[in-house]
Every structure is written in structure tokens, then in C-alpha cells.
């Protein structure tokens, strides 16, 4: 009698175990329905040191030459190439722009404000990164230097005040990491999707997917004007006042779809 009872218990255990396995199998089958195996994200090898370009980046400046930049009139970029792998704005020599054209992209750029402090407000360490030659992310030395908030470092010029001011002192290297999404226009120039931008300065989020309202202008209100899907990235020579010989290093871009 005792052995029969034991056999029964064993059978019940086996049935339960089987049932549990079946339940697990059907659960796994159900879970597989929401698994997405395609597309497989491309393998990208990160740069070896902080700021070094990953394997799929388009390098605009790596310290060797200024060949990937030119002036607006297509003549040679006339900023100074330093022998430490950096370049410096030459006051009055003009803005420089990438020869290659970009729409939406991820941009990494390193910069150093001049340690010989000159000027104040907008006249100290002023440059700018112009996406598509018209949407300026401000570059300014705002370390113990105040100006209007929507024109300080990290502002989308006169459109968005940055969330923070993580400026380092003049003479220290700083870095921007930016995601810029281009605007999309209809054939007749209606804005179907405005541009947006997300910005990290020295690793700190300062613009969180903000909408750009149009060209960043000094005077008046921003407005969109229809333009090509890809245009150069421009770096500003704010040369008409003092204190702006900013240096740059490690500039690279990863184009994004759409």
C-alpha cells in the first residue's frame, strides 16, 4: 500500500513538472513573437581615448591639416594649424566650413578658450557651430563671464537658453557632443518637421531635444527658409571684436538618417 502511494506521488510530481515545462515553452514562444532580430545594429569600434573618433566617423579635423574645410568662397581655410594637433581661429580671416555636406548628424568637437583673457560678454571667446550654415550653437567663454542667457555658451543662439553652464576655465580643453536633426521641407517650402538639437557640453546635458525655430539671427525673429537636405557645417570667426582666438581639435561627424 505504501509503495503504491509513493508511486502515485512520483507520478503527480512528474506530471506537474511536465506541465511546468510546457507552460515555460509556451511562454517562451509567446515572448519570441515580440523579439526583433532585424536589422542588426552595425558594429562600431569606439575611439581608444576619450574624444577619439569611432570607426564609422567622418573626420573633419584630426590635427594634421585643414583640408576638410574651406572658406565660404571655396578658397583655402586660413586658420592656423598648430603643431600640437590643433587649429586656431585667425581673427578676420573668415568663417570656415566643411567641404562635405551634412544633414542630420552626430558631431563631436573639442575647443579651448584663449587663456589670455580679453574682452567681455559676447566679445570673449566667441565662435559658433553653424549646422547647415544657418543654425548656430553658440561657442563662448562663459567662465566667470556673463552675457544674455540665450546667447551664452550652449545656447541655440537667441532661441534656447542652455540647461546648465558647465564651462571650464580658459586654457582648458572642453568638448561638445551634439545630435542635430535637420528640418524637412515640402516642395513648396512648408516646414514638415523643424530641426531639433540635443547637446552635451563637457558630458553634461545642456539642450534636451529642443526645437529650432529657424535661422539663428542676431536681429529679429527666427524664420525658416527652404534649403538643401545637406549643407556644410560652419565654424564662426567672430573676428570683428577682441578675444576670440579659440582653438579646436578632434572634430568628427556621424551622419544620421533622415
Residues of this chain that interact with Mg ion (CB under 5 A) are 126, 128, 236
Q: What is the C-alpha R_g of the chain? A: 27
Q: Could you give the CA distance from residue 161 to residue 148 in angstroms, rounded to a whole number?
A: 9
CB nearer Mg ion, residue 57 or residue 195: 195
CB nearer Mg ion, residue 60 or residue 137: 137
Q: Which three cell numbers stand for residue 71?
A: 572658406
Could you tell me the smallest distance in angstroms from the CB atom of residue 133 to Mg ion? 13
CB nearer Mg ion, residue 104 or residue 126: 126
CB nearer Mg ion, residue 103 or residue 128: 128
Distances (CA, A) of 24 to 19, 52, 168: 9, 46, 55
Could you tell me the smallest distance in angstroms from the CB atom of residue 131 to Mg ion? 13
CB nearer Mg ion, residue 128 or residue 232: 128
CB 80 within 8 A of CB 247: no
Q: Could you give the CA distance from residue 73 to residue 79 in angstroms, rounded to a whole number?
A: 15
Supply angle C-alpha 223, 225, 226, rounded to 5: 145
C-beta contacts of 164-167 below 8 A and 24+ residues apart: 164/201, 164/204, 164/205, 164/206, 165/206, 166/201, 166/202, 166/203, 166/204, 166/206, 167/141, 167/142, 167/143, 167/201, 167/202
Could you tell me the smallest distance in angstroms from the CB atom of residue 136 to Mg ion? 6
CB 119 within 8 A of CB 172: no
Could you tell me the smallest distance in angstroms from the CB atom of residue 55 to Mg ion? 32
CB nearer Mg ion, residue 126 or residue 215: 126
Q: Could you give the CA distance from residue 128 to residue 173 in angstroms, rounded to a whole number?
A: 16
Could you tell me the smallest distance in angstroms from the CB atom of residue 128 to Mg ion? 3
First and final CA of the chain: distance in angstroms?
Answer: 76
Could you tell me the smallest distance in angstroms from the CB atom of residue 192 to Mg ion? 29
State the residue number with the nearest CB to Mg ion.
128
CB nearer Mg ion, residue 98 or residue 122: 122
Could you tell me the smallest distance in angstroms from the CB atom of residue 42 to Mg ion? 35
Amino acid at each position: 500500500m505504501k509503495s503504491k502511494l509513493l508511486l502515485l506521488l512520483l507520478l503527480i510530481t512528474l506530471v506537474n513538472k511536465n506541465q511546468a515545462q510546457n507552460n515555460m515553452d509556451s511562454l517562451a514562444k509567446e515572448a519570441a513573437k515580440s523579439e526583433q532580430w532585424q536589422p542588426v545594429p552595425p558594429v562600431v569600434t569606439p575611439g581608444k581615448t576619450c574624444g577619439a573618433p569611432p570607426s564609422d566617423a567622418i573626420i573633419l579635423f584630426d590635427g594634421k591639416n585643414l583640408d576638410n574645410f574651406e572658406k565660404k568662397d571655396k578658397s583655402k581655410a586660413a586658420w592656423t594649424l598648430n603643431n600640437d594637433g590643433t587649429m586656431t581661429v585667425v581673427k578676420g580671416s573668415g568663417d570656415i566650413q566643411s567641404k562635405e555636406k551634412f544633414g542630420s548628424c552626430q558631431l563631436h568637437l573639442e575647443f579651448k578658450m584663449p587663456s589670455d583673457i580679453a574682452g567681455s560678454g559676447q566679445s570673449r571667446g566667441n565662435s559658433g557651430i553653424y549646422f547647415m550654415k544657418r543654425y548656430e550653437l553658440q561657442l563662448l567663454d562663459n567662465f566667470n563671464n556673463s552675457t544674455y542667457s540665450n546667447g551664452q555658451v550652449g545656447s541655440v543662439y537667441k532661441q534656447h537658453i542652455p540647461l546648465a553652464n558647465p564651462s571650464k576655465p580658459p586654457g582648458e580643453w572642453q568638448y561638445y557632443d551634439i545630435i542635430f536633426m535637420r528640418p524637412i521641407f515640402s516642395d513648396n517650402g512648408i516646414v514638415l518637421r523643424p530641426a531639433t538639437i540635443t547637446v552635451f557640453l563637457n558630458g553634461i546635458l545642456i539642450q534636451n531635444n529642443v526645437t529650432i525655430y529657424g535661422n539663428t539671427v542676431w536681429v529679429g525673429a527666427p524664420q525658416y527658409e527652404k534649403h538643401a537636405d545637406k549643407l556644410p557645417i560652419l565654424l564662426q570667426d567672430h573676428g570683428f571684436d577682441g578675444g576670440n582666438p579659440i582653438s579646436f581639435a578632434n572634430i568628427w561627424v556621424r551622419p544620421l538618417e533622415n
